């Protein structure tokens, strides 16, 4: 699919304007502008619920060259090549978009995929300068405005005021690898599917539950897993309240001692339940290079 040439602007909360060429969906959106330093893995990043309602700036200069894989599933019905079943970012900003792609698993281009998903993108942006700006001023609100749209009619909405965990979490419990010897309850605060794949591959039955699920009363599990997720952890107050009860019951002997594992936002939830405080960093470490 050949891209129709159209300009778009990224307008940040500090008043700076970055103009480039639009791709993906022809829509204007707002969100929180953040950057990510991964050299590969754009399909995983875009489907990571932790990026919900964020305008993702990728610092690697060439994006899209290996296309987008298909919706293949494994024997447990879990998507193989994505971290969730949809794109979660509000918009994507890149330096150079590759319209041509080559990979044995690729079935479509990045442009085609984002267009189908309803997500806009901008290419031709000096992402190095943009990232320096975000590093100096911290993550800030922004909006992607298509040519011909009045920027004043695209409100600068703050996703940090929304309970993003509730927005991305599963709505009802779902069991994977049923009958396995070890039972894990995974609290979905915006989990990545690879967490689910890894636990199942190691012989666990994993019950994925909503963020506000009562895992204190429903305690037929050997281990509790608190996933990653987007937004302010304090917004997930119900999860924190259940964790407080669980920790108190374990300490008093009312409940048996069982392992609890929190990763990313899940770790923050566990910390809040234990009495710690959290605060938002100016910009997070979003990347996976080693």
In which band, very low, low, confident or very high, does the pLDDT at 2 lie, cut at 50, 70 and 90? low
Report which DSSP code applies to 3: P
User: Which H or E run includes 8?
Assistant: strand 7-12
Residues near 166 by beta carbon (within 8 Å), at least 6 away in sequence = 211, 212, 235, 236
* pLDDT number for residue 1: 55
Q: Rounded to an integer, what distance in angstroms lies between the CA atom of residue 40 and that of residue 245?
A: 41
Of 236, 231, 226, 213, which is closest to residue 261 (Cα–Cα)?
Answer: 226
> Could you give the CA distance from residue 67 to residue 20 in angstroms, rounded to a whole number?
21
Supply 240's token pair.
């924190």
The model's pLDDT over 141-198, given as tens digits with 9 standing for 90+, comes to 999 999 999 999 999 999 999 999 999 999 999 999 999 999 999 999 999 999 999 9
| Residue from 45, 39, 229 nearest 119 by CA | 45
Predicted TM-score (pTM) of the model is: 0.95
pLDDT tens profile 36-45: 999 999 999 9
């Amino acid at each position: 699919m050949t891209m129709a040439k159209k300009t778009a602007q990224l307008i940040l909360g500090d008043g700076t304007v970055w103009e480039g060429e639009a791709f993906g969906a022809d829509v204007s959106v707002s969100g929180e502008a953040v950057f990510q330093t991964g050299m590969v893995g754009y399909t995983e990043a875009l489907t990571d619920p932790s990026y919900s309602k964020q305008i993702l700036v990728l610092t690697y200069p060439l994006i899209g060259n290996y296309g987008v894989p298909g919706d293949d599933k494994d024997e447990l019905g879990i998507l193989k090549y994505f971290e969730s079943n949809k794109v979660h970012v509000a918009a994507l900003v890149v330096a150079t978009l590759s319209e041509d792609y080559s990979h044995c698993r690729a079935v479509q281009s990045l442009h085609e995929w984002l267009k189908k998903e309803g997500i806009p993108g901008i290419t031709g942006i000096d992402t190095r300068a943009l990232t320096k700006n975000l590093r100096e001023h911290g993550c800030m609100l922004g909006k992607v405005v298509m040519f011909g749209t009045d920027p004043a009619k695209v409100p600068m909405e703050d996703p940090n005021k929304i309970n993003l965990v509730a927005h991305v979490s599963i709505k009802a419990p779902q069991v994977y690898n049923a009958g396995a010897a070890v039972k894990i309850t995974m609290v979905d605060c915006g989990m990545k599917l690879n967490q689910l794949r890894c636990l199942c591959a190691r012989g666990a039955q994993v019950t994925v539950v909503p963020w506000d699920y009562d895992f204190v009363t429903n305690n037929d599990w050997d281990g509790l897993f608190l996933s990653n997720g987007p937004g302010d952890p304090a917004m997930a107050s119900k999860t924190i309240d259940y964790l407080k009860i669980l920790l108190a019951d374990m300490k008093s002997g009312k409940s048996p001692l069982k392992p609890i594992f929190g990763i990313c936002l899940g770790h923050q939830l566990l910390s809040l339940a234990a009495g710690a405080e959290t605060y938002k960093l100016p910009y997070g470490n979003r990347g996976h290079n080693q």
